[in-house]
Amino acid sequence: MNKILLVALGGALGSSFRYLLAAAIPKFIGKIFLWGTFSVNVIGSILIGILWAYFEDSMSSFNLKLFLVVGMLGGFTTFSSFALESINLFRTEDVKTALFYIFATNIFGLLGAIGGYYLSKQVLTILY
């Protein structure tokens, strides 16, 4: 039961951070593109790369990994929102924007995870 509570608490925090960030970004950049969800997905990918590298070489608690990776990042990232927004772009016949959004989110998400992983490895090498 303790593990479920860790995931639930992390998910609540991650979802709250997602809401705040996704609501704030369009106010600064504009609503021309789905920057809120896009930014959250890319930031989440970078963070999961960093945590992946950290937990791969760390003797940290499995509970901490559950809280941060499964809970917080699971609540923070928004793939289901991304999927719905993509479908709605196709439905409104904005095919170019839909395809750009799908490819850009996936490419930058993957690059973010890889970059976060290798950046974290470099920092951990320096620190340890």
Digit-coded pLDDT (tens) for 87-113 = 989 999 889 999 999 999 999 999 999
Q: Report pLDDT for 7.
A: 95
Q: pLDDT (tens digit, 9 = 90+) per residue, 35-94?
A: 888 889 899 999 988 988 888 887 788 899 999 999 999 999 878 778 888 998 999 988
- pLDDT for the residue 98: 95
C-alpha–C-alpha distance, residues 12 and 71, integer Å: 8
pTM over 0.85: no
In the chain, what are the domain boundaries?
A: 2-127
Residue 81: the pLDDT is 79
Q: For residue 47, give both structure tokens.
A: 């963070």
Q: Answer whether residue 12 shows pLDDT above 90.
A: yes
Q: Of residues 1 and 26, which shows the higher confidence score?
A: 26
Q: DSSP per residue over 42-68, as a string?
A: HHHHHHHHHHHHHHHH----HHHHIII
Predicted confidence (pLDDT) at residue 30 exceeds the cutoff of 80: no
**DSSP conformation letters of 15-36:** HHHHHHHHHHHHHHH-SSS-HH
Q: Is 95 helix (H, G, I), strand (E, B) or coil?
A: helix
Residues in the chain: 128
